[in-house]
Structure 1
């Protein structure tokens, strides 16, 4: 079995625990996931198995879409509902137009300070390890990109939004920053990932249905890249890691032979492509 599995992760599970279940069931250690979901979050988790793990680096820059619910007026130590409330303040009276105006201000490139409970490393150690010891570290701001954001509902103090983000965006931090512009504080109480690139949560399955999981083959997983069929001579050259000549302009191509993916090719110079990643299918 080689490819991707679309899992609709339940709240309370770690992304790693999903990996482990897949490993045990399919008796392989070559399993990984794309974009960790915190235990309190749910929704689409893309799992790669065997040769599918080679696909993950080519999906990392895909956009991700979430539906997030924030409770305004409270803040917890982790900015989600898994820890104690450390602060409470009043929530100002807010209109729909005021909220929408604030949401629009987050479109495009923004700066975020990752939460202290994130996996970002400082001095070689993940931040969450410092947090567990009660140590607070200075975390540099990072630039992230918000492609789309819209208000779904607001019934004080609960604010629900849909947001499409680029790589590395922390929704908990986004909620905190939105609340600050609204004149209050916030904690994320529900988070659902609904899309990841071309994949949707509607097509995902629960891990409890592990005996009937549908595999997305390598060619479909790389469907966002241009695919070309090569002849037998080119196939042998690719298998042997040789540079091949192609009259193409794309920086990356998926080379196939008789409907099987051979490799991802990278343009090294005009009309010349080298093997970037080979597949054993």
Structure 2
């Protein structure tokens, strides 16, 4: 496994597992393509995407190790982030423009923390219309950008922990541990709807997948710089 503390430039013929710290405004497939280019390899894949506006741990497998991708996909995830109460966007994050603003002066910290606790457990979640989930062979975000809203079935998810780490109205810092397939920005949108003021995700970082941590991950820039100095 290639990590910050166990780094080598020559990938093994049988494949490798890389812990990557995905930068903001990169898609998960951008990372995979860059790794293919850096190491001049043909076969690579990731074990669960992160939204372009999010950063953090992305597990990438190459060669024969791609057979292990599904095992990593099943693992629980942990995130830290910040959202803002009182604003809403179509994508539930900052990728699209604000479409509505509401007053949040009556929202108290105790109410926010109590609501977060109520999210813990198994629940149904509707994926965002701005997502890579496919409908008739096309990702939903392509329909959304053309103004078409496609109805999709809710998914079963599980929230293990939902901690409010700081509240400075209208800004909320949080930490969430959850099952695979959980859209944090959809969770934030639902949170805001229940409060009656709306909410939008401002920042998100994936810090853990199973027992693998972003602190052990290597950045794309570090990979590129090391390759250039070979």
- What TM-score does the superposition give when structure 2 sets the normalisation length? 0.88
SS at match of 1:119: coil
Match of 1:83 among 80, 86, 96: 96
CA distance in 1, matches of 2:126, 2:41: 37
Do residues 12 (structure 1) and 29 (structure 2) align? no
CA distance in 2, matches of 1:124, 1:13: 22
Do residues 169 (structure 1) and 182 (structure 2) align? yes
CA distance in 1, matches of 2:136, 2:221: 39
Match of 1:103 among 116, 141, 145: 116
Is the 2:105–2:169 contact (alpha carbons within 8 Å) kept by the matching residues of 1?
Answer: no
Q: Which residue pairs with 1:54 in the alignment?
A: 67
Tell me the CA shift for residue 16 of structure 1.
Answer: 1.1
Is the 2:126–2:186 contact (alpha carbons within 8 Å) kept by the matching residues of 1?
Answer: yes
Q: Which residue pairs with 1:74 in the alignment?
A: 87
Aligned length: 213
Tell me the CA shift for residue 140 of structure 1.
Answer: 2.0
* Structure 1 gap segments, 5+ residues each: 214-281
SS at match of 2:218: coil
Q: RMSD across aligned C-alpha pairs, in angstroms?
A: 1.4
Trace 1:169-208 onto structure 2 (pairs within 5 A): 169-208=182-221
The CA deviation string for residues 109-162 of structure 1, in whole angstroms up to 9 with x for no partner, is 111111111122223432112112211111222221101110111111111110
**Which structure has the larger Rg?**
1
Tell me the CA shift for residue 92 of structure 1.
Answer: 4.0
SS at match of 1:85: coil
Q: Which has the higher strand share?
A: 1
Do residues 148 (structure 1) and 167 (structure 2) align? no
CA distance in 1, matches of 2:220, 2:27: 12
CA distance in 2, matches of 1:132, 1:98: 35
Trace 1:184-263 onto structure 2 (pairs within 5 A): 184-210=197-223, 212=226
Tell me the CA shift for residue 201 of structure 1.
Answer: 0.5
* Structure 2 gap segments, 5+ residues each: 1-11
CA distance in 1, matches of 2:135, 2:180: 19
Match of 2:38 among 6, 20, 25: 25
Tell me the CA shift for residue 62 of structure 1.
Answer: 0.4
The CA deviation string for residues 8-43 of structure 1, in whole angstroms up to 9 with x for no partner, is 111111111111111011111111111111111001
Q: Which residue pairs with 2:6 in the alignment?
A: none
CA distance in 1, matches of 2:56, 2:73: 17
The CA deviation string for residues 167-223 of structure 1, in whole angstroms up to 9 with x for no partner, is 11000110011112222101111010000111001001111111559xxxxxxxxxx
- What TM-score does the superposition give when structure 1 sets the normalisation length? 0.73
Match of 1:93 among 106, 123, 130: 106
Q: After TM superposition, where is structure 1 displaced by more than 6 Å over at least 4 residues in a row?
A: none
CA distance in 2, matches of 1:84, 1:183: 20
Q: Which residue pairs with 1:134 in the alignment?
A: 147
SS at match of 1:23: helix
Is the 1:92–1:183 contact (alpha carbons within 8 Å) kept by the matching residues of 2?
Answer: no
